[in-house]
Amino acid sequence: MEDCLFCKISAGSTPAEKVYEDEDFIAFLDIKPVNLGHTLLVPKEHSRNILDMSDTSLQKTGPLLKKLSAVVKEATQADGITIGWNNEAAGGQLIFHTHIHIMPRFTNDGHVHWKGKENISAEEFSQTGTAIRSLLKNNPYL
């Protein structure tokens, strides 16, 4: 897509600090990193997010994500790695081309995880579980 920043980076028309590239993916450093080494893994095939990705691209993502995560952790001497995959604006997605954040983490880096909701009733859990199971059972794509 001609207006997509990540498509432009993949095509080489917009610069980025690339750390990996093959025929299907590109990975480059995030320009506003959580910590230095924060890397974005981006499929070259344009899709909005995981909900729009081709199954083929999705199947290739996992093994590459694992390899890049290990390399980023080692290269930055991080204590851990956080993987972030934001989908849609409400999920924190800012650029609407599928991408995964590989964020090196350090024991005292000041970043904290979100707080989980408390005081959810057993009935709410049950209703939500039933809704998810029902959609999974009746989904023709699974």
Torsion over CA: 122, 128, 134, 136 (sign): negative
pLDDT in tens, 106-130: 999 998 888 888 899 999 999 999 9
> Over 70: is that where the pLDDT of 141 sits?
no
**Which of these, 37, 50, 136, lies nearest to 99 by C-alpha position?**
50
Per the domain annotation, does 85 fall within a domain?
Answer: yes
Place of tokens 């029902």: 134
Structurally, the chain folds into a number of domains equal to 1
For the chain, what is the mean pLDDT?
94
Cα–Cα distance list, 132 to 43, 53, 59, 116, 126 (Å): 28, 21, 23, 20, 10
Per the domain annotation, does 35 fall within a domain?
Answer: yes
Domain of residue 69 covers: 5-112
> Over 80: is that where the pLDDT of 140 sits?
no
Question: Which residues does residue 28 pair with via DSSP β-bridges, in sequence order?
Answer: 18, 40
Per the domain annotation, does 18 fall within a domain?
Answer: yes
> What's the pLDDT at 142?
65
pLDDT in tens, 12-22: 999 999 999 99
CATH number at residue 69: 3.30.428.10
Give the number of other CB atoms < 10 A from CB of residue 66. Answer: 11
Per the domain annotation, does 99 fall within a domain?
Answer: yes
Catalytic annotation present for 99 = yes
pLDDT in tens, 33-87: 999 999 999 999 999 999 999 999 999 999 999 999 999 999 999 999 999 999 9
**Which of these, 45, 49, 46, lies nearest to 87 by C-alpha position?**
49
Active-site option among 99, 101, 111, 113: 99
Per the domain annotation, does 11 fall within a domain?
Answer: yes
Q: Angle at CA 69, nearest 5°, toward 102 and 93?
A: 20
Give the number of other CB atoms < 10 A from CB of residue 21. Answer: 14
H or E stretch including 135? helix 122-137
Per the domain annotation, does 72 fall within a domain?
Answer: yes
Q: Angle at CA 131, nearest 5°, toward 127 and 133?
A: 115
> What's the pLDDT at 138?
79
Per the domain annotation, does 70 fall within a domain?
Answer: yes
